[in-house]
A and B are shown apart, each in its own frame.
Chain A
Amino acid sequence: MDGWEWLIVAIKCVVILLIFLGAPLILVLVERWTLGRLQSRIGPNRVGWSGTLQTAADGLKLGIKEDLIPRGADKIVFWFGPVFLVVPALAAWAIVPVGPKVGLGRDIGLWAVDLNVGILFFLAMGSLGVYGVVMSGWSSNSKYAHFGALRASAQVISYELIMGLAVLAVILYAGSLSLIDIVEQQAGLWFIVPQFVGFLLFVIAGVAETNRVPFDLPEAESEIVAGFHVEYSGMRFAMFFIAEYANIILISAIITTLYLGGWLGWTIPGMEGLTGIVWFALKTVAFIAMFLLLRAALPRLRYDQLMSFCWKFLMPIGIINVLLAAGLRMAWS
């Protein structure tokens, strides 16, 4: 790698970081507006033009708040809990391709790194995220946080398996673990068509992985108050928020990449890079909207129902799906 390449990678990292920190601010605002409209109320409309600066103001408020540490908490673990949640969510973005290769003097791929085990890296980062939840829940020295951490670890580990099974079928079709290859393999047919069952499994597991309604048990506010982050305040609490919304965007992006052909779509000749980004963004936003609508519509599952749904219903379907995919793949080749 020469100096230019290092510079390009550095620029990509900075861009990802900025998007990563800015997108949750916008997403929280959009969610509050959407929920407001769906629930026959207005939503934020005071700060800035029509409330556009609401989340920025909230972030500022959280930033200047006191960072409380409960008595009896394990301070170091308590401090690093949120970090362990944010960093994997950030790191996983490195492998997400947002567009094709573009020629700006030299070929530049619109992704941070083309990792040959890309999708495994994503799964690994998802598993790492649960450490943040467990650490913060356990170290808070609070019973409700403890329950939240237990629920989160059981839930994420179970649904990680479903996600893995769904991804396995995609890998069988694509013949590669690299997300760029997976997208390019979908040029003829998006994987959502042959892998519709897998797609549904992945979406369900994705909702569970991000702890969103109807699988928001780790932070069920009506049962265990706020779950694992009940004792957090100030900037650390904001980090949980950023991680949650960054994970929503990440999962939506991964669904787009794996099943909806990533950046693929009609292009204007000569502007493949731009149209690619637009297509990718549109598809991702569609899934983010699904997350928001789910929150407005559905109640919450119970802990045991969640687990039996995973192990007794999704798991057999996932295994059958992989076997079918393998069989079809062999028949083709």
Chain B
Amino acid sequence: MSVETGTASMFGDIEQISENQMVLNMGPQHPSTHGVMRLLIEVDGETVTKCTPDVGYLHRGVEKLIETHDYRGGITLTDRMDYTAGPSNNMGYLMAIEKLMGMEDEIPLRAKLLRTAVAELSRLASHHIWIGTHALDIGAMSAFLWSLREREKILFLFEQACGARLTTSFMRVGGTGPHDVPESWVENVDAFLDSYTLDELNSLLTGNEIFQSRTRGVGIIPAEQALSYGLTGPPLRGSGVDWDLRKARPYAAYDMIDFEIPVFPEGDVYARYLVRLNEMYQATRIVRQCMEHLRDLPPDAPSNADRPDLVPPDVGRVPFDMEAMINHFKLVMHGVQPPVGEAYFGIEGPKGELGYYFVSDGSGMPYRCHVRSPSFVNLGVMEDAAVGGLIADTVALIGSIDIVLGEVDR
């Protein structure tokens, strides 16, 4: 993405445009840029002739912050990036550290299943925000509120699992951490899945003549263009490329679960809408299977790897057990210390490939951390896909790419 920073170069561009054109500064406080993003749009009438996304208004230096915390301290920073799907971010972060430590095989099955279930629930939560705001951008007001009402139920499940609704910081290196989900959680998830329905949103949007005319054939991203921009997630699958890390490189418990990857070849806004809508149905399927597997596990199944140097001991044991106290002391003072090396791990987040890259110098803090955030990479295609459409199409396109500015700017 060629973001010209500094006003001088931007004004330089403006002087060259013809008389019929106008520069429209969309954002950073525009209702449909999904946060503080600025789009510099050149319009001829209402037709967009050039579109330059300008990001950075929400930059908080998360990567640098992670480098100044120990590995466990960074968990709380990750769910503030894509705040619509906190657990998914936590999971990507932890799995990259586990890969760095070479302990992927030591994660117990219970932790894997819980991670998968929570990741899919966060996919649902994220897609609910997306379908609501996307519909709101196109003008359907009720869909937004109906969608958030359903999302509320998922956030309630998060709250039961870890005590927080949005910034979950769920899971720890090596498993679920000292705080597993409460016993009633599995039943609550089942009850949620039984009561959960997408039919209302479906009936409001999918077959709606106006919604279809606003989204069909709009903002087309051909497959080659999607690949050349490095798109991942629903925007890629909406262009007909069948690529999903959950199938291509199964992680966590995805290899033992039966689900499908929806792919639509049209490449327009409507195709991306259908991809996400079907993903929501698949997510409920995955969560249901995870709950079945969890119920099959013996009640004393471990939820953490047997690694006292990573997993803090039971707090009640610390004052009475010498070994536990030493482990606790070392973990608090030095943190998790991976060996020297580097590792990248990507998971299929709700918005695309969410990857974390770590370089370790053997100390308790990462030497370098880089986040491959799907929103940032996917946003790049705006430059090409918005050209030729109307202003209203640009708004629909932003919605269909599904960006979260907390993740774009980090």
Shortest C-beta distance, A157 to chain B (Å), equals: 17
Q: Which of A147, A222, A225 contacts B137 (CB under 8 A)?
A: A222
Contact A300 B142, beta carbon cutoff 8 Å: no
Which residues of B are found within 8 Å of A143, using beta-carbon distances?
Answer: 22, 24-25
Residue of A nearest to B22 (CB): A143
Determine which residue in B30, B138, B214 has the highest number of CB atoms from chain A within 10 A of its CB, and name it. B138
Q: Which of A40, A213, A223, A302 contacts B146 (CB under 8 A)?
A: A40
When each residue 214-248 of chain A gets 1 if its CB lies under 8 Å from chain B and 0 otherwise, what string results? 10100011111100000000000000000000000
Contact A39 B392, beta carbon cutoff 8 Å: no
Residue of A nearest to B398 (CB): A222
Which residues of A are found within 8 Å of B24, using beta-carbon distances?
Answer: 143
When each residue 13-48 of chain B gets 1 if its CB lies under 8 Å from chain A and 0 otherwise, what string results? 000000000101100001110000000000000100
Determine which residue in A39, A40, A223 has the highest number of CB atoms from chain B within 10 A of its CB, and name it. A223
Among the listed stretches B85-93, B204-212, B260-268, B340-348, which one makes contact with chain A, having 4 or more residues with CB under 8 Å of it? B204-212
Does B245 count as interface, using CB distance less than 8 angstroms? Answer: no
Name B334-371 residues within 8 Å CB distance of A. none
Residue of B nearest to A298 (CB): B210
Q: Which of B139, B142, B213 contacts A222 (CB under 8 A)?
A: B139
Residue of B nearest to A41 (CB): B145
- The CA-CA distance from A172 to B295 in the complex, in Å, is 75
Shortest C-beta distance, A66 to chain B (Å), equals: 20
Does B136 count as interface, using CB distance less than 8 angstroms? Answer: yes
Does A28 count as interface, using CB distance less than 8 angstroms? Answer: no
Contact A39 B142, beta carbon cutoff 8 Å: yes
Which residues of B are found within 8 Å of A295, using beta-carbon distances?
Answer: 141
Name B211-240 residues within 8 Å CB distance of A. 211, 213-214
Does A304 count as interface, using CB distance less than 8 angstroms? Answer: yes
Contact B46 A222, beta carbon cutoff 8 Å: no
Which residues of A are found within 8 Å of B46, using beta-carbon distances?
Answer: 147, 303
Q: Which of A38, A40, A220, A298 contacts B392 (CB under 8 A)?
A: A220
- The CA-CA distance from A213 to B138 in the complex, in Å, is 11
Number of interface residues of B (CB under 8 A): 30
Determine which residue in A40, A221, A298 has the highest number of CB atoms from chain B within 10 A of its CB, and name it. A298
Q: Is the interface of A mostly helix, strand, loop or mixed?
A: loop
Which residues of A are found within 8 Å of B241, using beta-carbon distances?
Answer: none
Q: Which of B30, B31, B210, B390 contacts A304 (CB under 8 A)?
A: B390
Which residues of A are found within 8 Å of B136, using beta-carbon distances?
Answer: 222
Q: Which of B31, B139, B391 contacts A300 (CB under 8 A)?
A: B139
Determine which residue in A41, A143, A299, A302 has the highest number of CB atoms from chain B within 10 A of its CB, and name it. A299
Residue of B nearest to A216 (CB): B139
Does A301 count as interface, using CB distance less than 8 angstroms? Answer: yes
Which residues of B are found within 8 Å of A296, using beta-carbon distances?
Answer: 141-142
Contact B208 A298, beta carbon cutoff 8 Å: yes
Shortest C-beta distance, B208 to chain A (Å), equals: 7
Contact A303 B392, beta carbon cutoff 8 Å: yes
- The CA-CA distance from A177 to B326 in the complex, in Å, is 96
- The CA-CA distance from A302 to B395 in the complex, in Å, is 11
- The CA-CA distance from A298 to B209 in the complex, in Å, is 9
* CB contact under 8 A between A223 and B391, given known A40-B145, A299-B211, A301-B214: yes
* CB contact under 8 A between A299 and B214, given known A40-B145, A222-B139: yes
- The CA-CA distance from A295 to B137 in the complex, in Å, is 14
Which residues of A are found within 8 Å of B213, using beta-carbon distances?
Answer: 301-302, 305
Residue of A nearest to B136 (CB): A222
* CB contact under 8 A between A303 and B390, given known A40-B149, A225-B31: yes
Shortest C-beta distance, A115 to chain B (Å), equals: 37
Does B55 count as interface, using CB distance less than 8 angstroms? Answer: no
Shortest C-beta distance, A37 to chain B (Å), equals: 11
Contact A298 B146, beta carbon cutoff 8 Å: no
- The CA-CA distance from A222 to B136 in the complex, in Å, is 7
- The CA-CA distance from A221 to B391 in the complex, in Å, is 12
Which residues of B are found within 8 Å of A304, using beta-carbon distances?
Answer: 390
Does B408 count as interface, using CB distance less than 8 angstroms? Answer: no
- The CA-CA distance from A304 to B213 in the complex, in Å, is 11
- The CA-CA distance from A313 to B395 in the complex, in Å, is 26
- The CA-CA distance from A299 to B399 in the complex, in Å, is 14
- The CA-CA distance from A84 to B25 in the complex, in Å, is 29
- The CA-CA distance from A298 to B139 in the complex, in Å, is 7
Shortest C-beta distance, A214 to chain B (Å), equals: 6
Which B residues are closer than 8 A to A by beta carbons? 22, 24-25, 30-32, 46, 135-142, 145-146, 149, 204-205, 208, 210-211, 213-214, 390-393, 395
Nearest 7 Cβ contacts at the A-B interface:
A300-B139, A39-B145, A299-B140, A299-B139, A222-B32, A299-B138, A222-B137
Could you list some 6 contacts between A and B, CB below 8 A? A147-B391, A213-B141, A221-B31, A222-B136, A301-B213, A305-B214
